[in-house]
Amino acid sequence: MGRWDTAQIADQTGRTFVVTGANSGLGAVAARALTKAGATVVLACRDVTKGEKVAADLGERASVRRLDLADLASVRAFAAELDTPVDVLINNAGVMAVPLRRTADGFEMQIGTNHLGHFALTGLLLPRITGRVVTVSSGAHRAGKIDLADLNWEHRSYQRWSAYGQSKLANLLFNRELQRRLTAAGSPVLAVAAHPGYAATELQSHTETFLDGLMSVGNRIFAQSAEMGALPELYAATAADAKPGGYYGPTGFGGTRGYPGPSGSTAAAKDDVVARQLWELSEQLTGVPVLSAY
């Protein structure tokens, strides 16, 4: 597919995008590229102050609304107050390898933020979404395992990296099941997933261990820029040839860097039985029914 970059984003004038976690990193880069292409972008951010600084640089087509994915009340409030149709939702926000913490609703923080918060947000906005739902996963899904009996680490000994892998695998299973249900419902909306490879962002600085320092060095030496890391999600959100249920990421050096293209995933990420079971459990936990008839 060649070297796809932001210069190939078609004119997005008149289209509205919601980007979660757009106050920094990949989300801020994606918002910048989309507004440059003519789109109206809603920066959905937990840190509104940071979000407003980003929006100020993007111009009048960028606005900021508070969204805390670790609090379902905030997710519901955001969806209720968003009074516009949405062409594309980009589920970009995330946390990585944090110590054991709980969301406002008692979920383990990584599955709660990375998956359940976005699951609820997607479900609440879906009646207004006309184009695509893009969900950002990670190569770390390869180390993930979905434990349906203990999704929130209430009985197991907490392992932060295993919890991160589980949440990123959940992202891909959600994307797969969402596309299946959209197709069954006869909806033209596409579900597309992406991952950034190894990109230098603030995501790697919140483990609260010595790893923060090591990953900071790794970001400077090995990682590609956030601008490159955001390309796969921008491709998934705007490219005419993005496939329903597709998964895109960097195509160079083991999928860690380079320009975007189709990305491989594990057999666990294609398990339709677990995808359906996770979907049903997510509906129960969040209280948000999403295309339940399918």
| Tens digit of each residue's pLDDT (9 = 90 or more) over 232-267 | 999 999 999 999 999 999 998 778 899 999 999 999
pLDDT of residue 201: 63
Provide the residue type at 147 as one letter: D
- Residue 27, pLDDT > 80, answer yes
Please indicate whether residue 207 or residue 142 has the higher confidence score (pLDDT). 142
> Which of 68-72, 132-136, 141-145, 214-218 shows the lowest per-residue confidence on average (mean pLDDT)?
214-218
Please indicate whether residue 293 or residue 102 has the higher confidence score (pLDDT). 102
The one catalytic residue among 158, 164, 235, 259: 164
Q: Domain for residue 263, yes or no? A: yes
pLDDT of residue 293: 83
| Mean pLDDT computed over 66-70 | 98
Q: Domain for residue 289, yes or no? A: no
- CA 153 to centroid of chain Cα atoms: 21
Query: Does the annotation count 294 as an active-site position?
Result: no
Q: Domain for residue 203, yes or no? A: yes
Q: Could you tell me what percent of the chain has a pLDDT over 70?
A: 92
pLDDT of residue 204: 41
**215: confidence class by pLDDT, cuts 50, 70, 90:** very low
Q: Domain for residue 293, yes or no? A: no
Long-range pairs, 52-61, Cβ under 8 A, ≥24: 53/23, 54/22, 54/23, 54/24, 54/28, 55/31, 57/32, 58/31, 58/32, 59/35, 61/35
Q: How many domains does the chain have?
A: 1
Q: Domain for residue 291, yes or no? A: no
Question: For residue 189, what are the domain limits?
Answer: 10-284
- Residue 85, pLDDT > 90, answer yes
Q: Domain for residue 175, yes or no? A: yes
This prediction has a pTM of 0.92
Q: Does residue 123 contact residue 84 with C-beta atoms inside 8 Å?
A: no
pLDDT of residue 213: 52
pLDDT of residue 206: 45
CATH code, domain carrying 192: 3.40.50.720
| Mean pLDDT computed over 49-78 | 97
Q: Domain for residue 170, yes or no? A: yes
List pLDDT tens digits, range 120-166.
999 999 999 999 999 999 999 999 999 999 999 999 999 999 999 99
Q: Domain for residue 4, yes or no? A: no
Helix residue spans in the chain (DSSP H): 25-36, 48-58, 72-81, 109-110, 118-125, 160-184, 211-221, 226-229, 231-238, 272-286
